[in-house]
Amino acid sequence: MTDPKRIKINHRIAALVAALVAATLLLLTPARADDAAAAQSIIESQIQAFLADDMATAYSFAAPSIKRMYPDESRFFDMVKRGYQPVYRPGNFAFGRSKLAPDGSGLIQEVLIQGPDGQDWTALYSLERQPDGSFKINGVQMIKAAAPVT
């Protein structure tokens, strides 16, 4: 049986995390259209690579810091399969807001995504600008959508 106190605490923690994410997004400036389009293209290309089980292509969009943590394609791919099922096998996805860091060094892209089980999520992609001006994916924070009130 589920403990109601534990559920209440988990909901409070989820609400706190969502509030912190929202506050972070408010501190960032809206992304320029070309930066947002570039970020969205990278994310969509990586998702397409996951759907095709194309490890090399999916890994190519990862930032150097991610590649240091997962130094080969198969370890990276396994991590995504285990921990990011909605990204690995999305049902549907749509892009939300894009926010650029004030110094232009990075961008947060909101992706509304449905997992293979039908659960809705918000994926907050962190992209890092590279020395050549391009973006690479530096991380993804998954936030489970609240259950609808019945």
- Are the CB atoms for 85 and 69 separated by under 8 Å? no
Domain range summary for the chain, segments of one domain joined by +: 4-144
Q: pLDDT tens across 67-100, in order?
A: 999 999 999 999 999 999 999 999 999 999 999 8
DSSP H/E element including 78: helix 73-83
Q: Which fold has domain 4-144?
A: Nuclear Transport Factor 2; Chain: A, (3.10.450)
Q: pLDDT tens across 135-150, in order?
A: 999 999 999 987 666 6
Closest residue by Cα to residue 125 from 82, 89, 75, 86: 86
Closest residue by Cα to residue 140 from 63, 37, 27: 63
- The pLDDT confidence band at residue 104, using thresholds 50, 70 and 90, is confident
